[in-house]
């Protein structure tokens, strides 16, 4: 077993039960790893939504693809783009707690500290 700690979402996304020094049930560790990957895989295109960057993620999810479509520049909004981005954000409902969705923003996901 490797004696290394988990200090970031990227560390968590790459860890395996054999890597972790604390006895966490393998199923729970794999759940945490999957959730970390879901957060890390939020499309970078979302970080370009400057008008949404400070809005809580939960608000963007609740607003649906129509809200995202309104926030996208016309040149960045081909048919289906807002729906695709909304589906990506909806995955965060599984990966994050309700409190995190109420407080975290796209800016928070784009910060270097997340990875």
Query: Using CA atoms, how far apart are residues 66 and 20, in angstroms rounded to an integer?
Result: 42
Q: pLDDT of 59-88, one tens digit each?
A: 989 999 888 888 777 776 778 888 888 888
Instruction: Tell me the C-alpha distance between 40 and 103, whole Å.
Output: 17
pTM above 0.85, yes or no: no
Burial 61-83 (b: 16+ CB within 10 A, else e): bebebebbbebbeeeeeeeebbe
3-class DSSP state of 87: helix
Task: Give CA–CA dist 32/12, Å, rounded.
Answer: 7
């Amino acid at each position: 077993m490797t004696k290394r700690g988990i200090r970031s979402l990227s560390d968590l996304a790459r860890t395996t039960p054999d890597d972790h020094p604390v006895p966490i049930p393998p199923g729970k560790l794999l759940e945490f790893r999957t959730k970390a990957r879901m957060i890390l895989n939020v499309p970078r295109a979302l970080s370009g939504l400057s008008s949404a960057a400070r809005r809580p993620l939960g608000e963007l999810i609740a607003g649906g693809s129509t809200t995202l479509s309104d926030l996208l520049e016309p040149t960045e909004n081909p048919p289906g783009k807002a729906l695709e981005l909304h589906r990506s954000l909806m995955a965060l409902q599984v990966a994050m707690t309700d409190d995190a969705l109420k407080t975290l923003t796209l800016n928070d996901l784009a910060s270097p500290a997340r990875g």
